[in-house]
Amino acid sequence: MEGHPAEQLLRLAKEKGLQVTDQEFAKYLDDNDEMGHIRKQFHIPRVCELLEESKEVDGPAKGVDPNKECVYFAGQSLGLQPIETKELVDAEMEKWRKRGQYGRNTGERPWVPIEDTVLEQSGILVGAKNPSLEVAIMNGLTINIHIGLTAFYQPTATRHKILIEDGVFPSDFYSVQSQIQLHGYDPATSVVIVKPREGEETLRTEDIVAKIMEEGDSIALVYIPGIQFLTGQAFDIKTITEAAHAKGCYMGTDLAHAIGNIELHLSDWGVDFAIWCNYKYVCASPAGISGFFLHEKHAYNFDLPRMVGWWAHKRETRFVMDNCLDLQPGAAGFTMTTTPTLETVTLIASLNIFKQFDMKTFRKKSRLLTGYYELLLKNLSPEQQQEGDQEPQAKKKKTTATVHVVTPSDPEQRGCCLAVRFSCSGDEICKKMLERGIAMQCHRGIVRTTPTPLYNTFSDVLHVYNTLLDVLGDIQ
Ligand SMILES: *Cc1c(COP(=O)(O)O)cnc(C)c1O
């Protein structure tokens, strides 16, 4: 491949006769960014807007211009709003106002088959070869977790376990736990957890595979996310799926932090089911509509257990309402309720942005942007400086605070987010950064900091670095 982005960047800076910490270098990277025009399609909050009614801070720090655009490094939590979103929502509000029930079948986007407008592009993001059969847009994420588990967790006395990773998100954990209990099994004996090795913070694929090989005969379902929500580690879903299938287990994956972030090929990988939300990297509305993938190989298996509602009934005869169920094949056969119009149009608006580039171009920027950020973070902390690094250490303020990047350095094992641990309080860092117009998020001592390729720039990254330098200097 192209090699590590850090090497690429150092080489480039050398060619230009610049330091990676030079404003001019960040500007050069921005000027050559193939995706630079995308940022203009988002509302970038100003600092004063970001801090309005803030529960975290009293206001901008001294010397910070409240009217300048903030640097939003919190896309892993909630994506920013595309400019088109309001337009599309307003159009449906107007249609409802003017046409009442007749809006269901009229206009550019009739409400009844509105899910059709988002399947193809959602399919591109998750790598579904046959999106109209494999993808459904429905419900909230946790509901879809339960729908996937209901279909693919069919425990027997000898095969009753679910394999998860150690840091699994609470909602996923509770879903797994309660599904096991619903089937009359005990989570204490039916949950298998893969943990990082002693002294390590992320998982090794080989350890996940080894666990599957070891306990696979009693495992019903392997349930590993596309990207770990806290550490930002991307898992090798292809290899894990192969191992799961080799042992006769189903494979399910939560893509909450992977969709709109890394390239996914669910159909090719043979993943049995996947679920995701669209409000993080996809930038649809807060808590908006979520997604469900069912591999084509299961599309005509009408015996897969499910909770059924009228939306799963074939479209042509759904409104006959004779209570003779005729299930739609594929993922659509798992939809239950009328697709919510407003949530779906917010998804249309964000998918319209993703339509403007392919995921290869997106990832190319992402690797470089996060690679640049990582390089600067290493520059901040002498501890992480590796032999052979050519950049001089941070010169501005002397700081003994250390910065440790938890996320793997291998670009194949991460998306755009870097999870960072500071030697001082992460909450304190987040607060001070917010006062300076930079949005980040701290959980359990880990600060998630995310340069997203859609709306963050290389200059944003440099600004975050310079601000961190100041903030860490102050903390001394
Ligand atoms: C964000 C996230 C959720 C949130 O679930 P909701 O049902 O949307 O509240 C669940 N699981 C993971 C892994 C997440 O990252």
**CATH code (residue 439):** 3.90.1150.10
Same structural domain, 212 and 335:
yes
d(C-alpha 47, C-alpha 437), whole Å: 5
Same structural domain, 29 and 172:
no
* 64 within a domain of the structure (yes/no): yes
Share of residues in the chain with pLDDT > 90 (%): 93
d(C-alpha 313, C-alpha 325), whole Å: 6
Which residue's C-alpha comes closest to atom 2 of ligand 1?
256
* 19 within a domain of the structure (yes/no): yes
Instruction: Give the pLDDT band of residue 388 (cuts 50, 70, 90).
Output: very low
Q: What is the pLDDT of residues 1-50, one digit of tens each?
A: 568 999 999 999 999 999 999 999 999 999 999 999 999 999 999 999 99
Cα–ligand 1 centroid distance for 115 (angstroms):
21
Closest atom of ligand 1 to CA, residue 141: 7
Cα–ligand 1 centroid distance for 280 (angstroms):
9
Q: Which comes out higher in pLDDT, residue 391 or 354?
A: 354
Same structural domain, 16 and 128:
no
Which residue's C-alpha comes closest to atom 4 of ligand 1?
141
Closest atom of ligand 1 to CA, residue 168: 13
Q: What integer best gives the mean pLDDT of the chain?
A: 95
Same structural domain, 392 and 416:
yes
pLDDT at 382: 58
Range of the domain at 388: 5-69+359-475
* 270 within a domain of the structure (yes/no): yes
Same structural domain, 349 and 439:
no
Of 310, 337, 354, the position where a domain reaches its end is 354
* 82 within a domain of the structure (yes/no): no
Q: What is the pLDDT of residues 402-443, one digit of tens each?
A: 899 999 999 999 999 999 999 999 999 999 999 999 999 999
Closest atom of ligand 1 to CA, residue 254: 13
Identify the CATH number of the domain in which residue 194 sits. Answer: 3.40.640.10
Cα–ligand 1 centroid distance for 208 (angstroms):
22
Instruction: Give the pLDDT band of residue 392 (cuts 50, 70, 90).
Output: very low
pLDDT at 384: 44
Q: How many domains does the chain have?
A: 2
Of 321, 354, 387, the position where a domain reaches its end is 354
Cα–ligand 1 centroid distance for 190 (angstroms):
23
Q: Please list, in sequence order, all residues whose beta carbon lies within 8 angstroms of the beta carbon of residue 355, skipping any fewer than 6 positions away.
A: 121
Span of 160-169, 346-355, 386-395 with lowest mean pLDDT: 386-395
pLDDT at 398: 61
Instruction: Give the pLDDT band of residue 400 (cuts 50, 70, 90).
Output: confident
Pocket of ligand 1 (CB under 6 A): 140-142, 169, 171-172, 225, 229, 254, 256-257, 277
Cα–ligand 1 centroid distance for 252 (angstroms):
15
147 within 8 A of 136, measured Cβ to Cβ: no
Same structural domain, 285 and 196:
yes
Q: Please list, in sequence order, all residues whose beta carbon lies within 8 angstroms of the beta carbon of residue 127, skipping any fewer than 6 positions away.
A: 263, 264, 265, 266, 267, 268, 269
Of 290, 325, 354, the position where a domain reaches its end is 354
